[in-house]
């Protein structure tokens, strides 16, 4: 496929776009973006549904974002995903903002409508809920949850979604305490929000709260590099814990490895990538996504089982 040979397109490519076969219909904009696994998930889904198009990677720098968004709409794209660092720029660039995206404070899915308008949505929250339910067999509302890195990004989105679902209790922590205090304060007014508290990201403070936690979520990028510090105090995990690390490279992060060594159920970030993709696909096309086809695409690309 021509797009796979080119691998990554840039703003210069968009300025002098040449039709691909099948035509580019969807994409992901990021900086960087070459690592994205979304094409391996969405292209099989498009083929399975008989939709004549493909999903491509778009390396777009922050100062190029608005131009790129306009170009994609003119070129007839159905939509685009926005990843780091564009989720906040997309919030300001779309014509209409879904209320959930407004609450989450970021947009990762843009829908180009036939009438020329744009709608910004966020699949982080729905993807998080579906991941927990599918992988652990328990709804978020039944759980006592600790979120590491809740001061922004996916961790903040998970915190908002947990509060909106009315989970039994929600404990937030972040390396920068001022950020997480601000997030916690913003959750107080959400309908259905239960008990929300913060804790210092320090070994003894975490060791004290973990006995009262069911689900531990890592919303940071820590664990991607071998030299990253441990997220939790050694020996603090128990077999009853559910552990969800949003990092998926490596497939078994240090946190996932530690959880499994303690006898706990643990997953990496690939299930959430899947369910985010499923949600985006359903928003773009108004139809049920071929989940198992998308899952197999990710499995073949990564060895995930």
Give every CB contact of residue 156 below 8 A, 6+ residues apart in sequence.
104, 105, 150, 183, 219
Tell me the C-alpha distance between 174 and 180, whole Å: 6
Strand 118-121's sheet: what is its strand order? 8-10, 54-59, 24-30, 79-82, 109-112, 118-121, 96-97
Place of tokens 């969800």: 244
Beta-bridge partner residues of 29: 58, 82
Neighbours of 148 (CB within 10 A): 25
Give yes or no for a contact between 107 and 101, defined as CB atoms under 8 angstroms apart. Answer: yes
SS3 216: strand
> Active-site residue among 5, 87, 225, 249?
87
Give yes or no for a contact between 8 and 64, defined as CB atoms under 8 angstroms apart. Answer: no
Is 87 tagged catalytic? yes
> Active-site residue numbers?
87
């Amino acid at each position: 496929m021509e797009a796979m040979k080119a691998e990554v397109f840039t703003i210069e490519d968009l300025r002098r776009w040449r039709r691909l076969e099948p035509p580019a219909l969807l994409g992901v904009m990021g900086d960087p973006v070459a690592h994205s696994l979304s094409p391996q998930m969405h292209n099989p889904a498009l083929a399975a549904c008989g939709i004549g198009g493909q999903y491509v990677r778009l390396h777009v720098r922050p100062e190029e974002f608005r131009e790129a968004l306009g170009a994609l709409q003119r070129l007839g794209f159905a939509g685009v995903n926005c990843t780091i660092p564009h989720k906040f720029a997309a919030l300001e660039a779309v014509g209409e903002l879904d209320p959930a995206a407004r609450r989450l404070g970021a947009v990762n899915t843009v829908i180009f409508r036939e009438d020329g308008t744009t709608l910004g949505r966020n699949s982080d929250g729905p993807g998080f809920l579906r991941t927990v339910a599918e992988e652990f067999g328990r709804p978020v509302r039944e759980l006592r949850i600790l979120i590491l890195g809740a001061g922004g990004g996916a961790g903040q989105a998970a915190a908002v979604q947990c509060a909106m679902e009315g989970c039994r209790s929600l404990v937030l922590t972040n390396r920068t305490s001022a950020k997480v205090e601000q997030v916690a304060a913003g959750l107080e007014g959400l309908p259905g929000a239960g008990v929300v508290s913060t804790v210092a990201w320090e070994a003894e403070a975490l060791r004290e709260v973990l006995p009262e936690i069911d689900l531990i979520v890592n919303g940071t990028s820590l664990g991607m590099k071998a030299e990253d510090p441990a997220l939790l105090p050694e020996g603090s995990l128990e077999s009853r814990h559910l552990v969800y690390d949003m990092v998926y490279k490596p497939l078994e992060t240090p946190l996932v490895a530690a959880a499994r060594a303690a006898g706990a159920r643990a997953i990496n970030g690939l299930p959430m990538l899947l369910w985010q993709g499923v949600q985006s696909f359903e928003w773009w096309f108004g139809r049920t996504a071929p989940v198992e086809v998308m899952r197999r695409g990710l499995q073949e690309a990564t060895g995930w089982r």
